[in-house]
């Protein structure tokens, strides 16, 4: 293999470059990124960057040692795979032939109808522009009470803004963790002085605010939309690569064309653990999956089947999640959600499938190990927040 192209300049992209070199690849290497910045970390964008505590989240990478050509501010526009492997990536910088290709193009925020200005939060430039609008007394309306919406609301409230969050579901985080558990986070908004309006659908973003589906209106100085993302796969149209919700891969992150792998937010990978395809749009996957993708591209045996993990800092709380709860049969609470620290566990039989913790980091660490190992747990002991999770194991 003489030349590998990595398309995507996020965390998954830079980790792909590093993984290839760490595994002994000595050929040519090019990273193509639509953004003009060197790869940077995204989680701080909705936290430290919005609040002004940080302005640079560039990933610490030694590009000279990596011997990687950086094409920044250039976008991939098409892909022409060759029949026997390899092919050409069409970009705004010209055609780039390759022997191996790592697709790490991430995802694009969903926007709402309407001709009014709406902010999204995906890039550092997005964060800097939004930060400029978070002035004391400014009316900030956030559409979506998911992870991003809650974090933006946290930052805006801290800056003294008048914050309203509009959510179509009946509870915050309903899509992520279910309405029953998500409802336990609703009081956090009021405590922070944020107005939360659930069960409210938006018709359009207009100049100066929102028009609601019921004909109502909410005035705003800034409208922030946090209703999800879509994998960035449009440039693959007509390429012959299988795309279904994301770039379809097997457990080794291999696509249906030889010499092409996919990682990060754009990859819909097969999980042997759950027996289904997974699309996990979180930092932990972007950090760790490139090891497997690089190994696969270099002809080595590797499988990606990690327990999904993510975290969120909102309203002074650290919220962490590990596992995949939709496959579970039942839920067990550890502690009272009205207390400062609590957790929820999801089980199938005596197997722990997933955990959500609020300011209980030890529970998260221990649960993640239990889930990964497939160990059996005592559900009665699990419900006692005074018993460490590692001591709930059945022998």
Stretch among 26-35, 163-172, 274-283 having the lowest mean pLDDT: 274-283
Contacts of 380 (CB under 8 A, 6+ apart): none
DSSP string across 197-265: EES--EEEEETTEEEETTS-EEE-SEEEE-S-EEES-GGGTTS---BSSSEE--TT-B-SSTTEEE-GG
List of E strands, 257-382: 260-262, 267-271, 276-278, 309-314, 317-323, 330-334, 342-348, 351-358
User: Per-residue pLDDT tens for 250-308?
Assistant: 999 999 999 999 999 999 999 999 999 999 999 999 999 999 999 999 999 999 999 99
User: In the CATH scheme, what is the homologous superfamily, with its name and number, of domain 316-392?
Assistant: FAD/NAD-linked reductase, C-terminal dimerisation domain (3.30.390.30)
pLDDT of amino acid 103: 98
Whether residue 111 contacts residue 225, with contact meaning beta carbons closer than 8 Å, is answered with: yes
User: Per-residue pLDDT tens for 7-30?
Assistant: 999 999 999 999 999 999 999 999
Whether residue 79 contacts residue 270, with contact meaning beta carbons closer than 8 Å, is answered with: no
Contacts of 368 (CB under 8 A, 6+ apart): 307, 309, 322, 323, 355
How far, in whole angstroms, is CA 172 from its chain's centroid?
Answer: 17
DSSP element (H, E) containing 381 = helix 379-382
How far, in whole angstroms, is CA 5 from its chain's centroid?
Answer: 23
Tokens of 39: 């790869």
Tokens of 356: 């959500």
Please determine whether the domains at 111-225 and 316-392 fall in the same fold group of CATH: no
Overall CATH class of domain 3-108+229-297: alpha beta
pLDDT of amino acid 84: 87
- Calpha distance 157→175 (Å, rounded): 24
Domain ranges (residues) in the chain: 3-108+229-297, 111-225, 316-392
Determine the average pLDDT of the residues in 49-77: 96
How far, in whole angstroms, is CA 228 from its chain's centroid?
Answer: 10
Which overall architecture, per CATH, does domain 111-225 show? 3-Layer(bba) Sandwich (3.50)
């Amino acid at each position: 293999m003489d030349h590998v192209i990595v398309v995507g300049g996020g965390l998954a992209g830079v980790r792909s470059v590093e993984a290839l070199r760490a595994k002994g690849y000595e050929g040519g290497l090019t990273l193509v990124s639509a953004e003009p910045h060197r790869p940077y970390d995204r989680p701080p964008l909705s936290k430290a960057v919005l609040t002004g505590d940080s302005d640079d989240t560039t990933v610490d990478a030694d590009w000279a040692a990596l011997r990687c050509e950086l094409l920044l501010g250039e976008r991939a526009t098409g892909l022409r795979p060759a029949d026997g492997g390899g092919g050409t990536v069409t970009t705004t910088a010209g055609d780039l032939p390759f022997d191996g290709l790592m697709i790490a193009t991430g995802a694009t925020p969903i926007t709402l109808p309407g001709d009014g200005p709406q902010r999204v939060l995906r890039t550092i430039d997005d964060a800097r522009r939004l930060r400029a609008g978070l002035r004391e007394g400014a009316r900030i309306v956030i559409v979506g009470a998911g992870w991003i919406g809650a974090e933006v609301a946290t930052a805006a409230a801290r800056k003294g803004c008048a914050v309203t969050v509009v959510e179509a579901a009946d509870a915050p985080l309903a899509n992520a963790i279910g309405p029953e558990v998500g409802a336990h986070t609703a009081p956090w908004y009021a405590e922070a002085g944020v107005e939360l309006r659930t069960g409210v659908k938006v018709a359009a973003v207009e100049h100066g605010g929102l028009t609601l589906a019921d004909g109502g209106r909410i005035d705003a100085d800034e409208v922030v939309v946090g209703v999800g993302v879509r994998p960035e796969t449009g440039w693959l149209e007509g390429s012959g690569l299988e795309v279904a919700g994301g770039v379809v891969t097997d457990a080794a992150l291999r696509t249906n064309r030889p010499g092409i792998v996919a990682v990060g937010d754009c990859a819909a990978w097969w999980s042997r653990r759950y027996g289904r395809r997974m699309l996990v749009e979180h930092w932990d996957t972007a950090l760790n999956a490139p090891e497997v993708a690089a190994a696969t591209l270099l002809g080595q045996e590797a499988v990606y089947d990690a327990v999904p993990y993510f975290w969120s800092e909102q309203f002074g709380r650290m919220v962490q999640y590990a596992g995949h709860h939709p496959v579970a049969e039942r839920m067990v609470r550890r502690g009272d959600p009205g207390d400062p620290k609590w957790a929820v566990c999801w089980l199938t039989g005596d197997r722990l499938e997933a955990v959500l913790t609020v300011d209980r980091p030890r529970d998260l660490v221990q649960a993640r190990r239990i889930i990964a190992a497939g160990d059996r747990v005592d559900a009665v002991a699990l419900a006692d927040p005074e018993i460490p999770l590692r001591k709930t194991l059945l022998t």
